[in-house]
Amino acid sequence: MRLNVGIDGPVSAGKSSVADAVAARLGILHLDTGAMYRALGLTAVRRGIDVQDEEAIVRLCRELKVSVSHEADGQHTFVEGEDVTGLIRTPEVSMAASTVSRYADVRRNMVKIQQQLAAETDMVLDGRDICTTVLPNATAKIFLTASQEERARRRYLEMQAKGMNDTFEQVLEELKKRDDQDMNRPVEPLRQAPDAVLVDTTNLTFDEAVDAILKIVEANRHG
């Protein structure tokens, strides 16, 4: 049987890096599904398409070829064959991704691609709707979170390390805005699946979070 692990949770809960480590320990791939929404958001921004214009965004999503590959240094994300991995982490693209992910047809499209990839290969998928929609029959389902202040603190430190000058207050404000948009959108809002296990990392180290998830995976695999 396929080994598929779903990890959902809010902005900056550490999903991506934790999912990366969990996948490495299990010897399987990690699909960062947010990167696909980011690739669409980036393209809209680059082409000057208003992200509030649902019709135009849905059209763009249908035409656009978004793909991923897994290399030694992790996942690479492509738009029409161009590697955009280094371009999709800016605050502008984050907000654009959050906005385009509200549209039902965009989600349908992305979910289909993600389901195909997960059916072909054992993988850990991280996102917002993996346990609720993409993989309702995942081997293990995790809802990874931490307090808003702790998530903002981690994001702030990450941005400082990258030489960005945003203040902690700005980072917290941005995070609250994205939380609100992700949790209150009408289509597939972020929520914990009833059968997902909550892992709150507010007081956990990175390694402790990884170990907690591996334990859940093992229990579900053999239990």
> Given the rule CB under 6 A, which residues bind ligand DC?
11, 33-34, 37-38, 97-98, 101, 127-129, 178, 182
Measure the CA–CA gap between 180 and 97, rounded to whole angstroms.
14
CA-angle at 50, arms to 163 and 84, nearest 5°: 45
Q: Which is nearer to ligand DC, 2 or 89 (CB)?
A: 89
Alpha helices (H) along 85-167: 91-100, 104-120, 148-161
CB atoms within 10 A of CB 212: 18
Least distance in Å: CB of 171 to ligand DC? 14
Least distance in Å: CB of 48 to ligand DC? 20
Query: Which tokens belong to 163?
Result: 């030489």
Measure the CA–CA gap between 57 and 34, rounded to whole angstroms.
16
Q: Which is nearer to ligand DC, 110 or 217 (CB)?
A: 110
Q: Which residue has the tokens 């992200």?
A: 51
Q: Which is nearer to ligand DC, 11 or 45 (CB)?
A: 11
Least distance in Å: CB of 121 to ligand DC? 17
Least distance in Å: CB of 84 to ligand DC? 13
Q: Which is nearer to ligand DC, 42 or 212 (CB)?
A: 42
Q: Which is nearer to ligand DC, 53 or 218 (CB)?
A: 53
Least distance in Å: CB of 98 to ligand DC? 3
Residue 114 DSSP code = H
Residue 142, beta-bridge partner list: 7, 197
